[in-house]
Amino acid sequence: MSGQLISFFRLALPRTAAILLAAALVASCATSTEVPQAQAPGHSPSVAADVNIERIVLQAYRAIGDRHLYQPDFRALSAETYRGFADADPALSLETSDAAFSVKRDGREVMTRATPTDTSDGRAWGGMLAELLAGSMASSPALQASDRQALIRQAMAATTKQLDRSSRYADPEEARDNRFQRGGGGGIGITVERTDEKRIMVRAVQAGSPSAKAGLQAGDQILAINGELMVDRPLADVVRHLRGTVGTPVTLTVLRPAQGRELTFGMKRGRIIPTTVVYERRGDVALIMLSGFNTATTDNLRTAIDKARAEIGPSIAGLIIDMRGNRGGLLDQAQAVAEVFIGDGTIFSTQGRHPDSRRTYKSSNPRKIDDLPVVVLMNGGSASAAEIVAAALQDRGRAVVVGSTSYGKGTVQTVVRLANEGELILTWSRLQAPSGYTWNELGVLPSICTAKIGDMGQFGTTLVDANQSTLMRWHALRNPTSQEVTDLRKICPPGDSSPERDIEIASRLLRDSTLYAHALQAGAYQAARQ
């Protein structure tokens, strides 16, 4: 069965001044303290009342000026923001000079504004740009007829494109999805899939959720929600019908192919946090798949480890933490997951332009798990928070990293909650491993590159020793050039697959205590000498 997967939950965002994250898709520091109101079941999410484009640009420019990792050039940025905004009306044009920005429509001047003298003053440039946008809107029937959210999206996309590869804008619907992935929300606890045949199928049912208690099963085809047909409907419509306020009722009608009949299930929405931790026993090895970092990840990881200990018993050989394809998540959860295995000392540090972005994160956790060998699996899809954990455990000599070079997202983002309920995601600091190296663009190099193992007979200390010198070069770099990054990443190319063979290699490593200790020492070599 193929198709796009979406988990359906609704976020109830806590009142907080800041949320810190590190992720490829979602990232840190929400500045808004407003709590979004849950939508009535079965209704489309309402467009935020405040879609004033000028206000949103002002808010975005203030945030960029205060928080972005690099000092922006607002002269160039303002020109690109305007052009993105005005793209819907080809008759509009912007002429720029050192002294002024002029808007023309069909060659006739609409308005001219003097440019601020300081190109780093986001507030001043945002104010000038807001006036140009308002004047352009008033003079352009095409802009007046355009959807306001679309205009905001075009302007913000043009803005973030000029910043860096990880800064971006999320419109209100995407932002709501981002927020539930981080903190959960009201839903019934299912993952669904739209198949090639356009059927809406239940892919997974979360244990203990309202859907599980009601009796839904993986493989059920959703026919209707609250009596409204869902057949052939877009996944976004299903999202809007399944999400809602905690405690509100919802009824699902499904076709269960195994029984060949329709079934109806009634339940009440509960607070659901997407599952990011799945445990599977592999003989005397515990395989723990860690797919993301949200508010429940660390607690669920500890629960999975406790379950593995109880199920496997004293003969447990160790843990495989599979983070292949893990794109990241909450920064504090990356720290907390590392603290499960590291009892004291540095886990990672961050460096940026904003004073609050310069921090060293240390562990002082007496509950560390230090009696079990650990292997971490990575691939080219492992990013951000996953890389924090892998780099920390490798540098500190707590785990052997196996697989391929990771994605290379060594930055932290700040999420600014905008007035239209969208999010501006800005890069605001660079991450550093305990040994001091930064993996941004470079990635985390595994201690054992599985691409180099032609057959299992090659797997041994010789392979580990050959990789040790590369690790030393990798960790010694502080500001690698683009060519150095390209050359080093060719040594163990980042792959996007998750072969079973990686798990077999990790399992063999855990069962060979001599080889495991050798690989552990090789990976921690550079950190021990900083």
Q: Do residue 332 and residue 347 come from a single domain?
A: yes
Give domain status of residue 30, yes or no. no
Give domain status of residue 265, yes or no. yes
Q: Do residue 419 and residue 296 come from a single domain?
A: yes
Residue 125: predicted pLDDT: 96
| Domain ranges, residue 77 | 71-162
User: Cα torsion for 127, 129, 135, 141, to the nearest 10°?
Assistant: -140
pLDDT in tens, 360-400: 999 887 778 989 999 999 999 999 999 999 999 999 999 99
* 29 compared with 258, residue with greater pLDDT: 258
Residue 511 pLDDT exceeds 90: yes
Give domain status of residue 247, yes or no. yes
Residue 31 pLDDT exceeds 60: no
pLDDT range class, residue 464, cuts 50, 70, 90: low
Residue 29 pLDDT exceeds 70: no
Residue in 32, 139, 209, 384 annotated catalytic: 384
**What is the distance between the terminal CA atoms of the chain, rounded to a whole angstrom?**
50
Measure the CA–CA gap between 254 and 219, rounded to whole angstroms.
10
Clarify whether 370 is annotated catalytic.
no
Domain-terminating residue out of 252, 272, 292: 272
List 54's β-bridge partners, or say none.
none
Give domain status of residue 52, yes or no. no
Helices 148-161, 53-67: inter-axial angle, 10-degree rounding = 20
Q: Do residue 339 and residue 460 come from a single domain?
A: yes
Clarify whether 409 is annotated catalytic.
yes
Residue in 89, 171, 395, 502 annotated catalytic: 395
Domain-terminating residue out of 256, 272, 288: 272
pLDDT in tens, 140-156: 999 999 999 999 999 99
Burial profile 258-287: b = 16 or more Cβ within 10 angstroms, e = fewer: eeeeeeebebbbbbbbbbbbebeeeeebbb
Residue 461: predicted pLDDT: 63
Q: Do residue 205 and residue 328 come from a single domain?
A: no
Q: Do residue 266 and residue 283 come from a single domain?
A: no
Q: What is the CATH number of the domain that holds 220?
A: 2.30.42.10
pLDDT in tens, 299-345: 999 999 999 999 999 999 999 999 999 999 889 999 999 999 998 89
Residue 443 pLDDT exceeds 90: yes
Q: Do residue 326 and residue 360 come from a single domain?
A: yes
Measure the CA–CA gap between 150 and 134, rounded to whole angstroms.
16
Domain-terminating residue out of 162, 197, 216: 162
Q: What is the DSSP letter of 357?
A: G
Average pLDDT over residues 469-487: 81
Sign for the CA dihedral angle at 374, 378, 384, 386 comes to negative
Give domain status of residue 7, yes or no. no
Alpha helices (H) in 284-384, listed in sequence order: 297-312, 331-341
Give domain status of residue 194, yes or no. yes
List 92's β-bridge partners, or say none.
105
Burial profile 147-162: b = 16 or more Cβ within 10 angstroms, e = fewer: ebbebbbbbbbbbbbb
pLDDT in tens, 164-209: 989 999 999 888 888 877 777 788 988 888 887 788 999 888 888 9
Clarify whether 268 is annotated catalytic.
no
How many separate domains does the chain show?
Answer: 3
C-alpha distances in Å from residue 465, one per residue of 238, 301, 512, 518:
53, 32, 16, 9
Q: Do residue 419 and residue 512 come from a single domain?
A: yes
Give domain status of residue 61, yes or no. no
Q: Do residue 314 and residue 442 come from a single domain?
A: yes
**Which residues, 6+ apart, have CB-to-CB distance to 313 below 8 Å?**
none
How large a percentage of the chain has pLDDT more than 70? Answer: 87
Residue with tokens 């990356």: 334
Reduced to 3 states (helix: H, G, I; strand: E, B; else coil), residue 185 is strand
Give domain status of residue 57, yes or no. no
Residue 527 pLDDT exceeds 70: no
Q: What is the CATH number of the domain that holds 330?
A: 3.90.226.10
Measure the CA–CA gap between 444 and 458, rounded to whole angstroms.
23
Residue in 363, 409, 429, 507 annotated catalytic: 409
Q: Do residue 359 and residue 427 come from a single domain?
A: yes
pLDDT in tens, 199-236: 899 988 888 899 999 999 999 999 999 999 998 888 88
pLDDT in tens, 71-123: 999 999 999 999 999 999 999 999 999 999 999 999 999 999 999 999 999 99
Q: Do residue 218 and residue 314 come from a single domain?
A: no
Q: Is the pTM of this model over 0.85?
A: no
As a whole number, the mean pLDDT across the chain is 84
Residue 68: predicted pLDDT: 95
Q: Do residue 372 and residue 460 come from a single domain?
A: yes
Q: Do residue 197 and residue 113 come from a single domain?
A: no
Reduced to 3 states (helix: H, G, I; strand: E, B; else coil), residue 21 is strand
Average pLDDT over residues 248-272: 93
* 510 compared with 414, residue with greater pLDDT: 510
